[in-house]
Chain A
Amino acid sequence: MDRENGNRLAVVYVKLKDGVLDPQGSTIKSALENMGYQGIKQIRSGKIFEITFQKDEKRKPEDLIDEICRKLLTNPVIEKYNFEILK
């Protein structure tokens, strides 16, 4: 999107926490094995969100995105996240 207008882009990666069962990941793994791929140890599925947002002078973009992740994008019982803010 138009980053000239002061817009920023954040990319959020959401993953299941280690130890939380991932039925989708394990099904994809067995599909790969059936396709003949060998040596695939594990597949963990996840989600990506690209957030285009207006720069707010009063607030660090990291704080804003972190709050969005905590409040809505992830469920802390089962998920973890990290993000990067692309200049």
Chain B
Amino acid sequence: MKFGVIIFPGSNCDYDAYMAIKTVIKQEVEFLWHQDASLHNCDCVILPGGFSYGDYLRTGAIARFSSIMKRVMEFAKDGGLVVGICNGFQILMEAGLLPGAMLKNTSLRFICKFVHIKVENENTPFTNFSKKGQVLKIPIAHSDGNYFIPEEGARKLRENDQIVFRYCDEVGNVTLEANPNGSLENIAGICNQTRNVLGMMPHPERASEAILGSDDGRYIFQSIVNFFNKGR
């Protein structure tokens, strides 16, 4: 299986994602440049975290018009696996591949810390290696992670089981106190209706080896590999 990690101007988690896939998950991986005209036959495309275009205008608003994003949108429409992490999630929402938008954290602070998230839907290409209700310890690092969607959209997310991760406490209780940024319904990650596009604010690539404080991020990458191998 081959992964591609897109580098936008201002991406800064590109190498973390690359290394997690190459050395921990041990899969083929290559960088894709935001001006590339193709996805180099990658089976899964990762939009990494960072501050593409300095977060100017709105997070992800300018990166969304990169030439590679045309290919990403076609790829996603054809069922290709796409993962947006943090700024990557914001780009996917701006591109219309995922519903909703991010507001500033209610604290107005940049929050960088380990949080716990609960797997709400294990029937996705990104979570099949974990169990429903499993609690993962993965860090967040963002200013704009306060997920918002109008009520009708929220209802659709619930009805279609598109809420993949929710912020929770250590034992899996989804509480107000465990919500770091004000996200609607503690939402930390969602997928599209066809389940091939994932967006999540926490950084699994920063939690893929025990020496980093947690290796729970592996569940996400390993799920993708398992899903891909099963389909072959």
Contact = CB atoms under 8 A, between A and B. Distances in A.
B58 interface: yes
B182 interface: yes
A75 B103 CA distance: 11
Contact of B106 (A20, A23, A72, A77): A23
Given A75-B101, A77-B101, A78-B101, A21 B150 contact: no
Contacts of B33: none
B103 A20 contact: yes
Contacts, number: 38
A24 B101 contact: no
Which secondary structure characterizes the binding site on chain A? loop
B104 A23 contact: yes
B106 A21 contact: yes
Contacts of B93: 77
User: Which of A24, A73, A78 is most buried by chain B, counting CB atoms within 10 A of its CB?
Assistant: A78
B57 A78 contact: no
Contacts of A75: 58, 61, 94, 101
Nearest to A17: B150
Given A21-B182, A73-B57, A78 B104 contact: no
B146 interface: yes
Interface residues of B, number: 21
Given A23-B103, A72-B57, A77 B108 contact: no
Contact of B103 (A21, A27, A72, A73): A21
Nearest to B106: A23
B61 A72 contact: yes
A78 B101 CA distance: 7
A73 B94 CA distance: 11
B91 to A, nearest CB: 12
Contacts of A24: 104, 108
B148 interface: yes
A23 B105 contact: yes
A21 to B, nearest CB: 6
B149 interface: yes
Interface of A: 20-24, 27, 72-73, 75, 77-78
Given A21-B148, A24-B104, A72-B61, 12 more contacts: A20-B148, A22-B103, A23-B104, A23-B146, A23-B182, A72-B65, A75-B58, A77-B99, A77-B100, A77-B149, A77-B153, A78-B103
Interface of B: 57-58, 61, 65, 93-94, 99-101, 103-108, 146, 148-150, 153, 182
9 contacts: A20-B103, A21-B106, A23-B104, A23-B105, A23-B146, A72-B61, A75-B61, A77-B93, A77-B150
The 7 closest A-B pairs by CB, nearest first: A77-B101, A78-B101, A23-B104, A23-B106, A75-B101, A23-B108, A75-B58
